[in-house]
């Protein structure tokens, strides 16, 4: 199927490609730029005709809020979060709304901000191991995701943003408990902004009327339900995390994202389809996601398109002529507010990285200093991998090293330092060792053949200006099958040392304050732990029998993990599509059209619709009485500024790093023998390892083959990263398109 031909008949979705820039013309300023490659750019996909309810939730100046929660005296103040205070006051990465009134902007230096706003409070990003440590923000983000994922499919789009697909919940509400039958609408929902709705003297009444109209279109009614649900979720976020957020509710991700930024902070915006054309008509093209870069610039310069509406002047064919079939269609649809990109189910990140830049004069000039910094980075990475393992039961399979370098002395300093990767072995020492090997391999390649015996520590004209290590191909360890449990049991018998110690791990974890204790396990708040609390506080769920069985089994066998350390369904669902579990919301809000056989005999969608209805009703009424709305929350806090919430928690004391690593070993001439296949993910079972860690190399030859076929396959699936299926994009007929030449 050619999407170019059917673009209008079948609305398209956006995907992404990475872009490749080529200049067609020869030099000159007015050489015509043309798109000659397409990467990282939007891609068209068919969209189901059903009308969806999509929300985008965006935390308000998130890092600032996290710091304000830690240090409540900062609430309501002009404040910003800054990193690396040393140089010109550091760089701002988040700015409170109070400070924005003074013209303080992200990416200002701290000193600049002080000039514009002398009263501003600058809070430093925590530093650990000589580098910025973003863990507190990641963890805070997880708290939020745990709440926002309650009502529908949730995609963690970044540390502080999520997309929600609330279609099912909205449909259910419309069917069972439609707004038009409600006598009261939550205060927060009434404060929604509805695009295209003229606000009279009583905007709240207008909105209330819009939300409850009985003569509205079905699409509008669904959006109204979405608005009620999102208002409730936002209130829950505020009550449970003390963070405010803003949201957009629309029929697709693109519009929801657009809307979430329109009324900030702490507000939500609804985009009825009737408002779309007017909205886009005057919207600057660069404001659209995906058009903030080169493609947007090309549209401006080459086509004179300054607003999304301007795009409508161009035929799809014309756009395709300039930007290729796919992007042309994508632009054509974007101009009409059409996008079918799906909300992915993803609560956890797919990779972890730790990096640092060493700008200009601070460039690293010796292998020893590189080794020192790599060591720091690897320690952080290893720690995060360990947390992921303990909290989410996931294993990363690939270690990658990235570096930026310059050759001061050399003709071809164009050359990029190549990134290198290898199978990831757990254990800080191993990660360090491998990362260093990767670096040295990259350095040899970077320096080229002239590197005759330069293994010495001395500067040969190169400098490293950026270093990072990352772990990817993270897969969840399946649970919920008998055979896997039996397999573990075998392991335990063969390798008693694997029995080790969730106890030790817990002892090693930093001491927690009582209040933190309830939210944390293993040292960091996790999606799972917070979700567990939430679940506990809500209606008791009927437990999945197999899951229960497995937990019992874990316990009986004295197996490694305390029950609460077992994988949660929410975790597994992310990367394990075949897992026999569904996310919680899908149990409560069954997707009836879904193939019931998927649930492999034990239906998780067994709750009847009737049951659900009554529960939904109960939930509503419970919520509605006695719940503070966000505005009341604000008002009750005796403040003249918008955001003032009291909070008694301990102030954050950011610790300084100790860069002590005096033993700079001489550079080693390791070669990357590990890259050759044989060694796959290994879990070294030493100290500080969960009890169920083991070294796969030692068992999979001797033991794995002894196991029944079925078990072998399960174990293999567990051990290997899942292959991402390419079938989707193939089937979608994605074609290539081309990007404008890069301006130098």
Partner DNA sequence: ACGGGTATTACA
Partner DNA sequence: TTGTAATAC
**Residue 161 is a catalytic residue:** yes
Instruction: Please tell me whether residue 354 binds DNA under the rule CB under 7 A.
Output: yes
**Minimum distance from CB of 169 to DNA (Å)?**
23
Return the residues of window 75-134 that contact DNA according to CB under 7 A: 83-84, 87-88, 91, 93, 106-107, 131-134
- The helix-helix angle for 367-392 and 428-447 (nearest 10°) equals 140
Q: Where are the alpha helices (DSSP H) in 242-293?
A: 253-260, 276-281
Return the residues of window 172-211 that contact DNA according to CB under 7 A: none
Q: Which of 143, 155, 161, 570 is catalytic?
A: 161
Pair 219, 207: CB distance under 8 Å: no
Instruction: Please tell me whether residue 21 binds DNA under the rule CB under 7 A.
Output: yes
Q: What is the DSSP letter of 195?
A: T
Segment holding 474, helix H or strand E: strand 462-476
Instruction: Please tell me whether residue 362 binds DNA under the rule CB under 7 A.
Output: yes
Instruction: Please tell me whether residue 17 binds DNA under the rule CB under 7 A.
Output: yes
φ and ψ at 193, to 5 degrees? -100, 130
Pair 163, 154: CB distance under 8 Å: yes
Return the residues of window 392-411 that contact DNA according to CB under 7 A: 398, 400, 406
**Minimum distance from CB of 285 to DNA (Å)?**
11
Segment holding 576, helix H or strand E: none
Q: How wide is the angle at C-alpha 658 spanned by C-alphas 654 and 659, nearest 5°?
A: 135
Cα–Cα distance, 729 to 5 (Å, whole number): 18
Q: Which two tokens stand for residue 81?
A: 């979060």
Site mask for DNA (CB under 7 A), range 365-384, x = bound: ---------------x----
Return the residues of window 325-344 that contact DNA according to CB under 7 A: 344
**Minimum distance from CB of 463 to DNA (Å)?**
7
Contacts 24+ apart (CB under 8 A), 444-453: 445/418, 446/405, 446/407, 446/415, 446/417, 446/418, 447/407, 448/415
Interface segment toward DNA; rule CB under 7 A; list 219-227, 355-363, 528-536, 542-550: 355-363
Return the residues of window 657-676 that contact DNA according to CB under 7 A: 675
Pair 334, 311: CB distance under 8 Å: yes
Return the residues of window 280-299 that contact DNA according to CB under 7 A: 289-295
Segment holding 418, helix H or strand E: none
**Minimum distance from CB of 59 to DNA (Å)?**
8
Q: Which of 72, 203, 265, 418 binds DNA (CB under 7 A)?
A: 418
Site size for DNA (CB under 7 A):
73
**Minimum distance from CB of 497 to DNA (Å)?**
29
DSSP codes, 525-557: E-HHHHHHHHHHHSPPPPPPHHHHHHHHHHHHT
Q: How wide is the angle at C-alpha 674 spanned by C-alphas 673 and 680, nearest 5°?
A: 155
Q: Which of 209, 278, 416, 543 binds DNA (CB under 7 A)?
A: 416
Instruction: Please tell me whether residue 620 binds DNA under the rule CB under 7 A.
Output: no
**Minimum distance from CB of 515 to DNA (Å)?**
25
Instruction: Please tell me whether residue 46 binds DNA under the rule CB under 7 A.
Output: no
**Minimum distance from CB of 18 to DNA (Å)?**
4
Site mask for DNA (CB under 7 A), range 469-508, x = bound: -x--------------------------------------
Interface segment toward DNA; rule CB under 7 A; list 169-177, 353-361, 511-519, 576-584: 353-361
Q: Which of 422, 436, 485, 604 binds DNA (CB under 7 A)?
A: 422
Pair 729, 17: CB distance under 8 Å: no
Nearer to DNA, 314 or 446 (CB): 446
Q: Which of 8, 16, 608, 698 binds DNA (CB under 7 A)?
A: 16
Q: What is the DSSP letter of 215?
A: S
Q: Which two tokens stand for residue 126?
A: 């925590």
The residue with tokens 């090693």 is 508
The residues carrying an active-site annotation are 161
């Amino acid at each position: 199927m050619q999407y170019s031909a059917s673009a209008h008949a079948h609305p398209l979705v956006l995907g992404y490609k990475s872009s490749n820039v080529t200049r067609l013309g020869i030099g000159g300023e007015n050489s015509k730029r043309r798109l000659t490659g397409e990467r990282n750019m939007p891609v068209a996909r068919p969209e189901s005709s059903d009308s969806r309810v999509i929300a985008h939730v965006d935390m308000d100046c998130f890092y600032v809020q996290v710091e304000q929660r830690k240090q409540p005296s900062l609430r309501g103040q002009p404040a910003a979060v800054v990193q690396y205070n040393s140089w010109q006051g550091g760089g701002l990465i988040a700015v409170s709304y109070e400070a924005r009134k003074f013209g303080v902007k992200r990416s200002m230096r701290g000193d600049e901000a002080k000039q514009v706003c002398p009263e501003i409070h600058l809070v430093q990003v925590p530093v650990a191991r000589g580098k910025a440590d973003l863990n507190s923000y990641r963890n805070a983000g997880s708290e939020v995701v745990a709440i926002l994922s309650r009502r529908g499919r949730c995609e963690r789009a970044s540390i502080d943003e999520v997309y929600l697909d609330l279609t099912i919940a909205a449909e259910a509400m419309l069917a069972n408990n439609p707004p038009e039958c409600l006598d009261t609408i939550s205060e927060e929902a009434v404060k929604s902004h509805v695009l295209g709705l003229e606000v009279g003297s009583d905007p709240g009444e207008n909105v209330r009327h819009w939300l409850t109209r009985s003569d509205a279109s079905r699409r509008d009614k669904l959006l109204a339900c979405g608005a009620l649900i999102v208002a409730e979720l936002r209130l829950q976020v505020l009550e449970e995390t003390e963070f405010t957020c803003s949201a957009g509710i629309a029929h697709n991700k693109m519009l929801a994202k657009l809307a979430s930024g329109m009324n900030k902070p702490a507000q939500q915006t609804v985009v009825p389809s009737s408002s779309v054309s007017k909205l886009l008509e005057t919207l600057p093209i660069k404001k659209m996601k995906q058009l903030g870069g080169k493609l947007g610039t090309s549209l401006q310069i080459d086509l004179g398109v300054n607003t999304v509406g301007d795009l409508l002047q161009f035929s799809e064919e014309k756009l395709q002529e300039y930007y290729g079939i796919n992007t042309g269609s994508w632009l054509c649809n974007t101009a009409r507010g059409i996008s079918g990109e799906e909300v992915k189910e993803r609560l956890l990140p797919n990779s972890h990285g730790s990096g640092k830049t060493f700008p200009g004069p601070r460039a690293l000039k010796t292998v020893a200093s590189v080794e020192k910094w790599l060591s720091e980075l690897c320690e952080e990475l290893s720690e995060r991998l360990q947390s992921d393992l303990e909290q989410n039961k996931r294993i990363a399979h690939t270690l990658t090293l990235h570096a930026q370098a310059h050759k001061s002395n050399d003709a071809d300093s164009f050359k990029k330092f190549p990134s290198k990767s290898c199978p990831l072995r757990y254990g800080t020492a191993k990660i360090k060792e491998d990362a260093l090997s990767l670096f040295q391999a990259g350095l040899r390649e970077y320096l080229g053949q002239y590197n005759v015996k330069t293994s010495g520590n001395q500067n040969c004209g190169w400098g490293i200006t950026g270093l990072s290590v990352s772990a990817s191909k993270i897969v969840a360890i399946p649970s919920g099958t008998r055979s896997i449990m039996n397999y573990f049991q075998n392991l335990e018998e063969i390798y008693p040392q694997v029995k080790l110690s969730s106890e030790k791990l817990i002892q090693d974890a930093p001491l927690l304050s009582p209040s933190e204790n309830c939210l944390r396990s293993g040292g960091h708040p996790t999606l799972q732990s917070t979700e567990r609390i939430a679940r506990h506080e809500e209606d008791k769920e009927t437990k999945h029998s197999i899951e229960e069985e497995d937990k019992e089994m874990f316990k009986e066998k004295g197996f490694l993990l305390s029950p609460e350390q077992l994988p949660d369904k929410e975790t597994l669902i992310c990367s394990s599509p075949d897992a026999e579990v569904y996310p919680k919301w899908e149990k409560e809000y069954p997707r009836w059209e879904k193939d019931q056989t998927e649930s492999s005999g034990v239906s998780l969608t067994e709750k009847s619709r009737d049951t659900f209805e009554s529960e939904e009703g109960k939930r509503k009424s419970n919520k509605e009485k006695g719940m503070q709305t966000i505005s009341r929350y604000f008002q009750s806090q005796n403040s003249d500024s918008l955001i003032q919430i009291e909070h008694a928690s301990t102030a954050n004391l950011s610790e300084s790093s100790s860069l002590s690593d005096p033993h700079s070993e001489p550079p080693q001439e390791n070669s990357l023998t590990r890259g050759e296949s044989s060694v796959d993910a290994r879990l070294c079972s030493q100290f500080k390892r969960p009890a169920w860690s083991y070294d796969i190399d030692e068992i999979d030859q001797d033991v794995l083959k002894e196991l029944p076929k079925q078990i072998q396959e399960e174990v293999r699936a567990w051990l290997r990263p899942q292959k991402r299926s390419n079938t989707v994009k193939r089937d979608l007929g994605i074609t290539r398109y081309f990007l404008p030449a890069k301006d130098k």
